[in-house]
Amino acid sequence: MQSSLPSVSILLAALTASTLIGQDVKPDSLQQARSFQRSVTRTVGADYLLFFPRGYDEAVEKRWPLILFLHGAGERGTNIWLVAKHGPPKLVTAKPDMPFIIASPQCPPGQTWSNDTVLALLDELLANHRVDPERVYLTGLSMGGYGTWSLALAAPERFAAVVPICGGGDPIKLLLADPRRAQALKSLPIWAFHGAKDPVVKLEESERMVDALKRFGCSEVQLTVYPEAGHDAWTQTYENPKLYDWLLAHRRTASSR
């Protein structure tokens, strides 16, 4: 199925042309060039569920892989246990032998995922727990799938692999990304999942992102489509042991950040 948006190459050409045109702009006498500086302080924070794998307390020298999980819109609120309705925080109640630290923040009511908040939580976890910084994985479903795409594009160097489920994103951010992060993004492994019959977030949303990333030069990006699934593409995804084997097969070394 073809994307309805212009290809990345066309967008790149348009951006290049606009840059060249801008180089011909001259100062005029009708406007004054000015600047300002102001310090802005913003506090971010979130409640979250935290799961430690078996053996964490005993293996004091060991560093553990971390999964950051972003829930969907239905789990927003002030009751933190809503977060365990789906995904890894639900799965660990039946499979407590999962070999990951799992952090599952809760998005406040009426809001969507903030990159700054999730990255601040990641910094907190790295500073206070025995997380292996080379094995930090990001995943989310629905609204959390959108959050996963957004954060992967904004800070690819922070993650060893990402798994967005029934979400979408903005391909133009690939072209506007900080050039210093372009290589990290191109080497970021991404495995997306979507239901072909999803009535909430159309399959085209994932297809558009995967197509754009391939055109951008990402070396490992794939999309799994469940032919009969609706919006719930996450249950069979998170219950598949192969997903966790795939995550653990990837590392983000210091040289690739």
**3-state class of 73 per DSSP?**
helix
In which band, very low, low, confident or very high, does the pLDDT at 2 lie, cut at 50, 70 and 90?
very low
Looking up residue 93, the CATH number of its domain turns out to be 3.40.50.1820
132 assigned to some structural domain: yes
For residue 39, what are its two tokens?
Answer: 């310090």
- pLDDT more than 70, % of the chain: 90
Q: Note the pLDDT tens digit of each residue in 68-87.
A: 999 999 999 999 999 999 99
Has residue 62 been placed in a domain?
yes
Provide mean pLDDT across the span 194-211. 98
- Answer whether residue 83 is part of any domain: yes
The answer to whether position 246 is within a domain reads yes
In a domain, 134, yes or no: yes
Instruction: Answer with the residue of higher pLDDT: 14 or 85.
Output: 85
Is the pTM higher than 0.75? The answer reads yes
Residue 257 tokens read as 């950040």
* pLDDT, position 3: 44
Indicate the average pLDDT of the chain: 90
Tens digits of residue pLDDT in 100-117:
999 999 999 999 999 999
C-alpha 224/C-alpha 242 separation (Å) is 13
Cα–Cα distance between 164 and 179 in angstroms, integer? 23
**Residue 62: exposure state from Cβ atoms within 10 A (0-12, 13-18, ≥19):** exposed
| Structural domain boundaries enclosing 180 | 42-252
Q: Which tokens belong to 80? A: 């933190």
pLDDT at 92 over 90: yes
What integer is the mean pLDDT of 192-216? 97
| 3-state class (DSSP) for residue 64 | strand
Answer whether residue 49 is part of any domain.
yes
163: in domain: yes
Digit-coded pLDDT (tens) for 151-188: 999 999 999 999 999 999 999 988 888 888 899 999 99
The yes-or-no verdict on residue 6 having pLDDT over 70 is no
How many Cβ atoms sit within 10 Å of the Cβ of residue 76? 19
pLDDT at 7: 56
Q: Does the pLDDT value for residue 128 go beyond 50? A: yes
* Count of the separate structural domains present in the chain: 1
Classify residue 24: in a domain, yes or no.
no
